[in-house]
Amino acid sequence: MYQAPLPPEYATLTTDDARTRIIEAKRQLGTRIVILGHHYQRDEIIEHADYRGDSFKLAKDANRHPEAEYIVFCGVHFMAESADILTPDHQKVILPNLAAGCSMADMANLFQVRNCWRDLEKIVREQIIVPVTYINSAANLKAFVGEKGGTVCTSTNAPKAVEWALSQGQKVLFFPDQHLGRNTGAKMGYDPERDMVVWDPHKPLGGNSEEQISTATFILWKGHCSVHQRFTVEQVEAAKSKHPNIKILVHPECPIEVVRLSDLNGSTEFIINTVNAAEPGSAWAIGTEINLVNRLAKENPDKTVFCLDPMICPCATMYRIHPSFLLYVLDKLVAGEPINVIEVPQKTKDFAKVALDRMLTLV
Ligand code: SF4
């Protein structure tokens, strides 16, 4: 989405000035606002968050303060949409920078998914396909899934969601992240070579034959996270050879070769809880976003914690929530002129809520 440039007096603020003014604006707004901060946000944002979490936790936290008029979501666009769907109509959700999207979510759109669904239905007439969308997807895709009897999932509950989907039908269409789908299926005992095909939306039949589609249990959308796909087998081997007692802990959005070589894998909350609960003196190479890894290292000074990829960059879109953007939307709220309100159309909301509510029951 298009984000208008900040007025010059905000664009040129120092970090310290922005910090002082955010604290003051927050004080003035009091219980009228709740600030949610995703773990991948920079420290200068996280320090102002009333709740921090991954997308699953924040989807639940969004509902904790029905008295608040505004939920300021320091995350990316699909998260703000989910918060708008899950909260009552009197609450408005604000995204401080409208350009904070998610490159993975952008890899599947409604037109492409509808075409895929139509092709699949023609091929697998006797079998029921259940769509499962990762929460990292646009609201209209969540609505599509709700309408077709599927569910939303997160990296926390993906195995439960897929298990549920396979109790409803014989095949799962999993989008937009092929890696989470593949890792989840493999964890459940399915063979990626035999039981899964990848659907490339730019090729006829996703680049598969009718027979391949008929025999597969998983149809995995060809999407990925630009942050997590960067982790490699070579990085795991280098970490292990430098630190013999290292534990490798990665997110399931990483490629399956990396997940297979890791000691543990799981959602962002799982990664945080595992490191926090680890023995003092233990060493961890983490395969996830760098802001989170650096914060974990700071909050666990008795352990060695570092990123598996020494060259990794932050999630570029999460990074667009700069303190000046947060301050600007807060100042506008103080002035009674809310901006950057995320509003999902009612019809989309209704079906998307079906799929999101199902997600919240599959814990
Ligand atoms: S880390 Fe990956 S999946 Fe998460 S918001 Fe950034 S691009 Fe999207």
Helix or strand or coil: residue 195? helix
The total of structural domains in the chain comes to 3
Q: Are residues 81 and 138 located together in one domain of the fold?
A: no
Nearest CA to ligand 1 atom 2: 225
The percentage of the chain sitting over the pLDDT mark of 70, rounded to a whole number, equals: 100
Q: Tell me the β-bridge partners of 283.
A: 304
Q: Are residues 176 and 215 located together in one domain of the fold?
A: yes
Name the residue of 315, 319, 320, 321 whose CB sits within 8 Å of the most ligand 1 atoms, as the mutation to test its pocket: 315
- Out of 209, 225, 241, pick the residue that ends a domain: 225
Ligand 1 pocket by C-beta < 6 Å: which residues?
40, 76, 102-104, 136, 225-227, 289, 315, 317-318
Residue 355 belongs to a domain: no
pLDDT at 242: 93
Q: Which of 145, 135, 187, 142 is nearest to 163 (CA)?
A: 187
Nearest CA to ligand 1 atom 6: 315
Those residues with Cβ within 8 angstroms of residue 274's Cβ, 6 or more apart along the chain or in another chain = 249, 264, 266
Q: Are residues 302 and 237 located together in one domain of the fold?
A: yes
Q: Are residues 123 and 206 located together in one domain of the fold?
A: yes
Q: Which atom of ligand 1 is nearest to the CA of 75?
A: 5
Q: Tell me the β-bridge partners of 153.
A: 134
pLDDT at 63: 87
Burial class of residue 3, CB neighbours in 10 A (0-12, 13-18, 19+): middle
Residue with tokens 């646009």: 138
Residue with tokens 């506008």: 332
Q: Which of 102, 248, 114 is nearest to 177 (CA)?
A: 102
Q: Which atom of ligand 1 is nearest to the CA of 40?
A: 1
Q: Are residues 19 and 77 located together in one domain of the fold?
A: yes
In terms of DSSP bridges, do strands 341-342 and 92-94 run parallel, antiparallel, or are they unpaired? antiparallel
Q: What is the mean pLDDT of the chain?
A: 96
pLDDT at 151: 98
Residue 284 belongs to a domain: yes
pLDDT at 312: 73
Those residues with Cβ within 8 angstroms of residue 156's Cβ, 6 or more apart along the chain or in another chain = 54, 56, 266, 267, 269, 270, 363
Q: How does pLDDT run across 246-275, given as a tens digit for each residue? A: 999 999 999 999 999 999 999 999 999 999
Residue 161 belongs to a domain: yes
Instruction: Say how far apart CA 164 and CA 132 lie, in whole Å.
Output: 10
Host domain of residue 250:
228-307
Q: Are residues 136 and 171 located together in one domain of the fold?
A: yes
The answer to whether the beta carbons of residues 217 and 231 sit under 8 Å apart is no
Cis peptide before 176 (omega within 30 of 0): yes
**Run of H or E including 33:** strand 33-38
Instruction: Say how far apart CA 188 and CA 163 lie, in whole Å.
Output: 8
Q: How does pLDDT run across 60-118, given as a tens digit for each residue? A: 898 899 999 999 999 999 999 999 999 999 999 999 999 999 999 999 999 999 999 99
pLDDT at 314: 84
Q: At what angle do helices 77-86 and 346-361 cross, to 10 degrees?
A: 90
Q: How does pLDDT run across 144-185, given as a tens digit for each residue? A: 999 999 999 999 899 999 999 999 999 999 999 999 999 999
Residue 28 belongs to a domain: yes
Q: Are residues 111 and 221 located together in one domain of the fold?
A: yes
Q: Tell me the β-bridge partners of 249.
A: 264, 286
pLDDT at 146: 97
pLDDT at 126: 85
Nearest CA to ligand 1 atom 1: 315
Q: Are residues 37 and 95 located together in one domain of the fold?
A: yes
Q: Which CATH number is 270's domain given? A: 3.40.50.10800
Instruction: Say how far apart CA 136 and CA 158 lie, in whole Å.
Output: 12
Instruction: Say how far apart CA 179 and CA 272 lie, in whole Å.
Output: 21
State the chain's maximal CA–CA distance in angstroms: 63
Q: How does pLDDT run across 44-76, given as a tens digit for each residue? A: 999 999 999 998 889 889 889 999 999 999 999
Whether the pLDDT of residue 313 is over 90: the answer is: no
Instruction: Say how far apart CA 308 and CA 346 lie, in whole Å.
Output: 43
Residue with tokens 């439960």: 160
Tokens of 303: 């352990």
- Mean pLDDT for 205-231 is 97
Quickly count: other Cβ atoms within 10 Å of residue 344's Cβ. Answer: 22
Distance of CA 29 from the midpoint of ligand 1 (Å): 30
Q: Tell me the β-bridge partners of 130.
A: 172
Nearest CA to ligand 1 atom 3: 225
Residue 215 belongs to a domain: yes
Q: Which CATH number is 199's domain given? A: 3.40.50
pLDDT at 176: 98
Q: Which of 201, 199, 162 is nearest to 183 (CA)?
A: 162
Whether the pLDDT of residue 193 is over 90: the answer is: yes
